[in-house]
Structure 1
Amino acid sequence: MKFLNKLIPSSRCLVLVTLLATVACNEILEENPYTTFTTDYFKTSGGFRSAVVTGYAGMRFNYGPIGALDINVFGTDEWTNGDQAISSPLNVYNVSTSEGDLLTPWNNNFWHINTLNLIINLKPEELIEVREADRVTWVAEARYLRAHYYYLMVTQFGAVPLDLGSGELQFNDVPTSAFNRLPVDDLLVKNYQAMIDDLTFAVENLPAKRPERAFNLSKAAALHLLAKVYLYRGYSAVKQPSDFQNAYTTAMQLIDGKDTYGVALLEDFADVFREGNDYNAEIIYAIERLPKNNTANEMIDPSTDFANKANMTNNMFNSNYQGPIFVFDPSTTPPSTQAYIDGRPLEYGRPLRRFAPTKWLFETAFADKKNDSRFDNSFRMVWYARSVSATPPATYVNRLNAIGLAIGDTAFYLTKRDREADSLKALAGAQKKNYRVFGPSEFYTNTNRTNLIYPSLKKFQSVQRANFQDASGRPLPVSRFAETYLLAAEAAMLLGQPGEAADLINVLKRRAAYRPELTPGEVDSRYAAIEVTAADINIDFILDERTRELAGEHSRWPDLAARGKLLDRVPTRNVDAANIQPHHVLRPIPQSQLDRMSDPDKAKYQNPAY
């Protein structure tokens, strides 16, 4: 696996280009121009800590850039491609072994694992001026990170090597053309056990709580991921009889000990993703980034770098609010190009139109948009007349005024039902609406490309950017306490306790019923309308509830694949993914990896049917 030596070249010399000084949110990336040094550097306090923080920073490859988003969002029941990503291979299931998006995790995660192997295996007596308390905590962080990297790989590719050239979970500094993936079934057993062992150590040795203003790892993060790994193994071919019980027990340890672990559900779902509230108690773990700090975020150019470590979530889910249908007067010569919204206001993001919600997500998963606040708090349906300029151009203001609008007025509105759109469009005289109205039947689909507009995910809205083209500088949530409830509920269901599962889900339902403008009585009434009972609980309901709670949070593809529901749900809910085949439940091993191997029989290392 020659690519494993990106950080660790041949012999025992090392070249580190950049190292994060700390993961605290108020610190920045520091350029440390080390030339070459031996692995002895990692035996020092500074070197050991730098390796841990490099492990933190490497997670940015997996959460935010376009490749990481594509492999987790496309080809699911929730999302299809927008007009800027027509027929994306991962969405239409025309996936080849040369698919570039798959290289985002493949080319980056193993060398981070290798670095973590190095410091995890250092013995206390080998270290130089490293306090034992620090060593234990840093090893716990490193083991969580290693488990998380393996979780990301196994949920996409199936079994992946533990032996990177020098033995299982050992540091390797010698280039190798071996690919230690066989036998696959035995390796998958070891993959899951390694993750569980690492996370168990992390639970025992990490601090109980994370800092208030940083996403350093904690027991809460380890418990959450450990519960998920137990659950996923329970669905797998290498399941153990105790997996679902262990998943339930682990998730409930976090729920019952929420005060000890410093986690809580927020009262208002809208506050979970509110910009400026990124370090709230519901976010257990997020990938750290800092607003307007390209250096800290390892961004060369945040307006053009869609890959590497960019957080593109603020731009990829947006529809085309600048499209031709929104131009004031297209009949002029030459045609006017000025739209109801002037430029690209920071609030609305860059309309890159990569991911569009499926009809199923809009109409079925979120069928009740009144009593359940999560749709309104997750999706943008109204765009207001805004300018990208602090002082709106006079021509723009005048054109707004000419059609009866002013800065801040509604520019266009997406209704939740066609009959509402029809009623608004039928108004005349003094009641006529000056803004544009679109009903659900007019939303963009791959067969209806007239209006490139659709409900746009707003969870990751990022106003604090230096330029309207830029990627986000916000931390990107990975583990939320709300999902811990969903994991516990699912495990309870699998243990034959649907009543317990319903009780856990109803905690989220009650929060979903809350809107700050409602009276307590009105909240109770809305909760009663969406409350569930034991009779409602099954795996499809659990997956529907995960959509309502977690839509767009970069986990849907592995969620469906791990539970064996990809083939069942995707073709009936995503019309663009009708080509899905049984072998698509795993990603192909990248061809570039197989080409590096010395073994001429490369096919035996590939996943079935690729």
Structure 2
Amino acid sequence: MKLRNILKPIKILGMMSVMLASQSCEDLLVEKVVSGIGNDYMNTPKGFEDAVKSAYSSLRNYYGTQPGLTITEYGTDIYATGADGSFKGFHFYDTQLQGGVGSASGDLLAALWDELYRGVNTCNAIIERAPKVTLSEAVLKQRVAEAKFLRAHYYYLLHQQFGGVDLRLTETLVPTKDTKRATDAEMFNAIIKDLTEAIPNLEAKSQSTDYGRATKPAAETLLAKVYLVKAYSAQKAADDFTKAAQLCSGVINNYTFKLLDDFAQVHDENNQVNSEVVFAVQYTSDPLTNLTNNTGAVNGGNNLHLLFGMQYDVQPGMKRDVFYGRPFKRLRPTSYFLNTVFADRTNDSRYKKTFRDTWLSNNPGTNLNASFDDSKSKLTFAAGDTAIFIPGYEMSKADRAKKKYQVLVPSAYNEALFPTLMKFFDTKRPDLTYEAGSRDFFVFRLADVYLMLAEAQLQSGNISEATKAINAVRYRAGWPGKKDAMLITEAQMNFELIIEERARELAGEQMRWLDLKRWGLLVDRVKKYNPQAAPNVADKHYLRPIPQTQIDRSTKGAFAQNPGY
């Protein structure tokens, strides 16, 4: 049975077991009964198993959601604002980006903070209570290892966004204002310890027998990410890059993972369980389960299908439908992303397979007024005719006039009209207004592991192995007959290539802000490539503001705000 199908029945337990944690409610001293299930239920074999399943659920509030996307893709070198939506302070790095209660950004950060700590406390309870539970030793070891993987994952996300946080490694059962901020060294040590202890007891296979559970390669991938982060930090050790490279090599060579032959297959909604997925957060079409997001996500589910779409649905010959999606116009690609990162479209298939460039008429009509294309005034469409085409380059007015459809050229791009990322589209939604998508979110996939390996090897001075690793990803991305042209030589291998290759391969996959932060390049690259954010971005933005709710629920003066907020 897939884990996605067994999360819903125990969500209540997951909430119940941590509601009294110091980080779990806005008013610290108000106890709220949310379930009739007794706390001792978790000490039973069934209750313990349910608790482990519930520990995964907090991932659904970060991955595949608008809040999670907001703090990982907004305000980077590859994405700028679309026409609509809240949380634009994360794009502009202006006064909207504060931690205060009642502000959009502050409430988003507070909700994510609370939900990640709910996950932490559920993991703490699992780890502490395991010795009291009557299950086989093998099962208990695996379940505790899953909890340690998840606890490390939650703290990794908290640490990257906020810096040192309250490092709680025991179950919180009653309200407390006794909190403090851990140092970076303490955070790294705790995360690495959890993952190192988890790895030997997780299933040593590409996919768990119970699909969706954490596996040994998933934990190894996360540990590699942690070592990469640490390697650029003040806590760096001489062997951090080497350790990251060893872990990535193990994931690539010790299991049955395989890069798919076609980049487009990776994000095919009908191919979600494939040989490239190392770890996925699972979603479902069950509406009750989809409504379990607690962070301001757009009505639950994997809703990234909403956030990258352009305003196609008011153009002549078009109307909104399930296939082309509901366009919330939250993010649009920067000029740097389109023109530099995706400059090679002759050999590299990823521009074509990343962005939608053609819309076929689903609202036919005659003598329709053209909108954005000034090369024509009237249009006529039969059902299925091309209505909109985005060539990706400038075309003269005379050349556009020869087409029977509207041509959107780069000079006409704006916050409502732009190339649309296709990775997350969900055509299985029941109607055209339905927001909660059911697609899994791929947290770790093999191409990312190859690119991490290339980075770690490059930074270790092993140019030959770095070149081999990045070429594996580039070769797959080539058009048929052009794959050899995608291969680079050792002389061409450099860090800028790593930066651009991760953008080409992983765009929109909730990694870019974390990459720029890890490299210490956030401010530099935003200033260079994101004109909207350039005037305001500063060094303080390598960390988010601590939610005011956390500061207020701590002993006065005990939990300091991050500098500059």
Same fold (TM over 0.5): yes
Q: Does 1:198 align with 2:189?
A: no
Residue 375 of structure 1 aligns to a residue whose secondary structure is: helix
Cα RMSD, aligned residues only: 2.4
> What CA distance in whole angstroms lies between the structure 1 residues aligned with 2:423 and 2:37?
43
Q: Offset at 1:253?
A: 0.7
Among 286, 307, 321, which residue is 1:316 paired with? 307
Residue 532 of structure 2 aligns to a residue whose secondary structure is: helix
Q: Offset at 1:404?
A: 4.2
What is the match of residue 560 of structure 2?
Answer: 605
**AA partner of residue 582 (structure 1):** D
> What CA distance in whole angstroms lies between the structure 2 residues aligned with 1:213 and 1:47?
18
Among 156, 162, 167, which residue is 2:161 paired with? 156
Q: Percent identity?
A: 36
| Paired residues, number | 526
Equivalent residue runs for 1:195-594 within 5 Å:
195-209=191-205, 210-211=207-208, 214-259=211-256, 263-290=257-284, 292-298=285-291, 306-307=297-298, 309-323=300-314, 326=315, 339-342=316-319, 344-386=320-362, 396=364, 403-419=379-395, 422=397, 424-427=399-402, 433-445=403-415, 452-471=416-435, 472-514=437-479, 518=480, 522=481, 526-578=482-534, 579-594=536-551
Equivalent residue runs for 1:40-119 within 5 Å:
40-85=40-85, 88-94=88-94, 95-98=97-100, 99-119=106-126
Residue 296 of structure 1 aligns to a residue whose secondary structure is: helix
> What CA distance in whole angstroms lies between the structure 2 residues aligned with 1:116 and 1:212?
21
> What CA distance in whole angstroms lies between the structure 1 residues aligned with 2:380 and 2:77?
40
> What CA distance in whole angstroms lies between the structure 1 residues aligned with 2:51 and 2:143?
10
> What CA distance in whole angstroms lies between the structure 2 residues aligned with 1:397 and 1:214?
48
**AA partner of residue 77 (structure 1):** D
> What CA distance in whole angstroms lies between the structure 2 residues aligned with 1:311 and 1:239?
35
> What CA distance in whole angstroms lies between the structure 2 residues aligned with 1:587 and 1:456?
28
> What CA distance in whole angstroms lies between the structure 2 residues aligned with 1:239 and 1:55?
30
What is the match of residue 142 of structure 2?
Answer: 137
> What CA distance in whole angstroms lies between the structure 1 residues aligned with 2:341 and 2:158?
29
> What CA distance in whole angstroms lies between the structure 2 residues aligned with 1:556 and 1:75?
9
Q: Offset at 1:532?
A: 1.7
Q: Offset at 1:88?
A: 0.9
Alpha carbons 1:61, 1:104 under 8 Å: kept: no
Larger radius of gyration: 1
The 1:238/1:109 distance shift into structure 2, 3 A limit, reads same
> What CA distance in whole angstroms lies between the structure 2 residues aligned with 1:32 and 1:156?
26
> What CA distance in whole angstroms lies between the structure 2 residues aligned with 1:33 and 1:58?
12
The 1:160/1:439 distance shift into structure 2, 3 A limit, reads same
The 1:305/1:434 distance shift into structure 2, 3 A limit, reads farther
Residue 84 of structure 1 aligns to a residue whose secondary structure is: coil
> What CA distance in whole angstroms lies between the structure 1 residues aligned with 2:154 and 2:564?
26
Alpha carbons 1:67, 1:101 under 8 Å: kept: yes
Q: Deviations over 1:444-463 (max 9, x none)?
A: 15xxxxxx210011000100
Q: Offset at 1:586?
A: 0.7
> What CA distance in whole angstroms lies between the structure 2 residues aligned with 1:213 and 1:119?
19
Q: Offset at 1:25?
A: 4.0
Query: TM-score if structure 1 supplies the norm length?
Result: 0.82
The 1:213/1:352 distance shift into structure 2, 3 A limit, reads farther
Q: Offset at 1:135?
A: 0.7
Residue 356 of structure 1 aligns to a residue whose secondary structure is: strand
Alpha carbons 1:29, 1:298 under 8 Å: kept: no
Choose 81-90 or 249-258, whichever is displaced more. Answer: 81-90
Residue 477 of structure 1 aligns to a residue whose secondary structure is: strand
Alpha carbons 1:62, 1:104 under 8 Å: kept: no
Structure 2 stretches lacking a partner, 5+ long = 14-34, 101-105, 370-377
Q: Offset at 1:46?
A: 1.2
Structure 1 stretches lacking a partner, 5+ long = 1-21, 164-168, 327-338, 388-395, 428-432, 446-451
The 1:481/1:595 distance shift into structure 2, 3 A limit, reads same
**AA partner of residue 282 (structure 1):** E
**AA partner of residue 62 (structure 1):** Y
> What CA distance in whole angstroms lies between the structure 2 residues aligned with 1:135 and 1:240?
34
Residue 271 of structure 1 aligns to a residue whose secondary structure is: helix
> What CA distance in whole angstroms lies between the structure 2 residues aligned with 1:244 and 1:340?
54
Q: Deviations over 1:199-231 (max 9, x none)?
A: 122221111222478322211211111111111
Query: TM-score if structure 2 supplies the norm length?
Result: 0.88
> What CA distance in whole angstroms lies between the structure 2 residues aligned with 1:356 and 1:412?
17
> What CA distance in whole angstroms lies between the structure 1 residues aligned with 2:551 and 2:451?
38
Residue 3 of structure 2 aligns to a residue whose secondary structure is: coil
> What CA distance in whole angstroms lies between the structure 2 residues aligned with 1:494 and 1:224?
18
**AA partner of residue 606 (structure 1):** Q
**AA partner of residue 319 (structure 1):** M
The 1:543/1:300 distance shift into structure 2, 3 A limit, reads closer
> What CA distance in whole angstroms lies between the structure 1 residues aligned with 2:271 and 2:445?
14
Residue 576 of structure 1 aligns to a residue whose secondary structure is: coil
